[in-house]
Each structure stands twice: as C-alpha cells, then as structure tokens.
Amino acid sequence: MKVLEAKFVKQFINLCFEGYQKGWHERNGGNLSYRIKKEEVESIKENFTYQDEREIGTIVKDLSNEYFLVTGSGCYLMNVKEYPEENICIIKVNDDGTKYQICRGLKNGGKPTSELPSHLMNLEVIKRRSINEKRIVYHMHATNVIALTFVLPLNSEIFTRELWEMATECPVVFPRGIGVIPWMVPGGKDIAIATSKMIEKYDAVIWAHHGMFVTGSTFDEAFGLADTIEKSAEILVKVISMKGVFSKEQTISRENFIHLAKDFNLTLNEDVLKICK
C-alpha cells in the first residue's frame, strides 16, 4: 500500500489541518506523533528506505524497534495536508531506545520535531499504562490556555478546578485533571522528563507560557480533548475579563461534581475535589 493511502496517515494529516484551523499552529508551532501499529507498519514498509541513525536526546527503551509517524521540525502544520511528504516522516527507534532512523518522508531533508524527546517519553508512559491503547501525543499552542498561565497560579489542582468549573462536560472529558509545569526551555530532555511524569497522573499537561500536550487513543479523541480544554479556557478568560480572577458570582460546586461523578460513573481526581468550592 502507498503510505499516503494508509488510514492512520490520512487521519494524522487531518488532525494537523484541524488544529491549524483552530489557530493553534502559528508558523511551525505545535507537533504531532503517532505510535504505528505492527500491522500498519507491515502494510507500508515496502516504501521505506532507512537513513543514518541519529540521537533522540533521551532514552525510550520500552519503544525499541517501534515505528512512529511525526511532524518535522520547523514544518508548518498548515502545509501538512498539501505537502505531507515534505512535512512529516516515519522514524524507527533502535534496539536500545537511544537513536532513530528516518525511513520515509521529509523528502527535502530535515529532522523530526524538536519536541521528539517529549513525544517519545510521553508515548512510552502511555504505552506502559495504556488501558485503551493510547498511541497519539499532540502538542499545540492553544491561545486561551496559554493566556491563563499568566494569571492563574501554576498549580495543577487549581488549574483543573478552574477549568472543570467552566463547563459541565469538563470533568467527564478529563476526570484525572490537567498537570501544569512552570516555564522551562523547550525541546530537550529536562522538559520531556517533567512532562512524561505528569502524563503518568493527568490527562493533559500545560507548559506555562507555551502550550499544551494531550494524548489519545484515536486522533478524534486527542483533538477532542485539546478542543474541550481550550474551550473551557476561553470561557474562563471571558469570565476573568468580566469579573477578575477567582471572583465568580456562582460556580459548579464540590457537591455538584460529586453528584456528577456518581451519575456518570467517574473517578474524579480527589486532590482537585478537595479544593473545590
């Protein structure tokens, strides 16, 4: 099968465009990765030619010998739909999880996203603890989420509570909450370690003054999670613009969340519930 005919490739390309249309991918902002299933690799591997090995910049032993579809560094997600072969690539991780080889794509040269260490370390965590086969890691520069990192305390529980309160569907969509990490230099091992630790515990991770990482078992689920969080952030930005931080007239209370959890059979993050109003 031709690479561009594979369903997962089409869905990957589609998510890049959907995110771009949302305004989350100015210039080369944001990136996407997918851990390719064995049978999917089999169906397209006749098209692969392997380049030299390069360092990942971290170790992902549990992903050794696996294949990934990733966006290219410096590539504009806006262009992925029209020029996929120039802007995305398939890589293979080596035996000991320290290096990768490009085996398809980026046909004018280049390398995978600078956030490859964060993507692969997150993919490793979700592979380890995956109940429903999460294989997608998506990083976007969501405007309202970023705006909130300038006015809310950079505390995972407070961020989660504030976003849960903004729409009744939020605790249903992200019951484990959202992790927040303070500003760090992007593109390296340190931020990858900090993010992947958060992915053990939370549904999504916010990078202060930068953007957000989400995971998903389908492309729709990853996009839907980002969209839900960004929408509740937009509502909160509007509420703060009208009323100021932490000065709502009324909100969804702890008692309301407990009631919701009972009826929707949710296990809500206890640390967040404890600080609800």
> To which residue do tokens 């931020």 refer?
191
Q: Measured from the CB of residue 271, what is the shortest distance to ligand 13P in angstroms?
A: 28
Scan residues 208-227 and list those touching Zn ion (CB under 5 A): 211
> By CB under 6 A, is residue 215 in contact with ligand 13P?
no
**Least distance CB 259 / ligand 13P (angstroms):** 39
Candidates 51, 257, 74; CA nearest to 168 is 257
For 147, the 3-state DSSP assignment is: helix
- Distance CA(249)–CA(34), nearest Å, equals 43
The neighbour count for residue 245, using CB atoms within 10 Å, is 13
Q: Does 149 bind ligand 13P (CB under 6 A)?
A: no
Stretch that binds ligand 13P, among 69-77, 147-155, 222-230, 237-245 (CB under 6 A): 69-77
- Which long-range contacts link 247-250 to residues 24+ away (Cβ below 8 Å)? 248/165
Q: At what angle do helices 156-166 and 219-243 cross, to 10 degrees?
A: 90
**Minimum distance of ligand 13P from residue 257's CB (angstroms):** 33
Is the CB of 28 or the CB of 58 nearer to ligand 13P?
28
The one segment of 26-34, 129-137, 224-232, 255-263 that binds ligand 13P by CB under 6 A: 26-34
- Work out how close the CB of 177 gets to Zn ion at its nearest, in angstroms, rounded to a whole number: 22
- Cα angle: 10, vertex 63, 224; to 5 degrees: 40
Question: Residues interacting with Zn ion, by CB under 5 A?
Answer: 211
Catalytic residue set: 115
Question: Residues interacting with ligand 13P, by CB under 6 A?
Answer: 28-31, 71, 73-74, 113-115, 186
